[in-house]
Amino acid sequence: MTIQWYPGHMVRAKRQVEDRLKLIDVVIELLDARIPFSSRNPDIDDILKDQKRVIVLNKIDLADPEQTKSWKRYFANIAPTVAVNSLTGQGVSQILKLARDLMDKEFVALKAKGRNERNIRMMIVGIPNVGKSQLINQLSNKSSAKTGNRPGVTRGQQWVKLKKGFELLDTPGILWPKFEDQQVGFRLALAGAIKETIFDSELLAYKLVELLSEVAPEKLEERFKLDYLNPDTYELVADIGRKRGCLQSGGRIDRDRTSDIIIKEFRDGKFGNLTLELPPQG
The binding site comprises 58-61, 173
Q: How many of the other CB atoms lie within 10 Å of CB of 51? A: 17
Burial of 166 (0-12, 13-18, 19+ CB in 10 A): buried
Contact partners, residue 11, CB within 8 Å, separation at least 6:
none
Cα 179 to Cα 119, 176, 206, distances in angstroms: 37, 7, 20
Give Dmax (Cα) for the chain.
82
Residue 29 contacts residue 82 (beta carbons within 8 Å): no
Handedness of CA 149, 154, 160, 166 (dihedral sign): positive
Q: Annotated binding residues for GTP, as ranges?
A: 58-61, 173
From CA 154, how far away is CA 9, in angstroms rounded? 10
Q: Can you tell me the distance from the alpha carbon of 105 to that of 186, in angstroms, rounded to the nearest whole number?
A: 42
Compute φ and ψ for 281, nearest 5 degrees.
-100, 150
For residue 119, what is the DSSP state?
P
Distance CA 214, CA 47 (A): 36
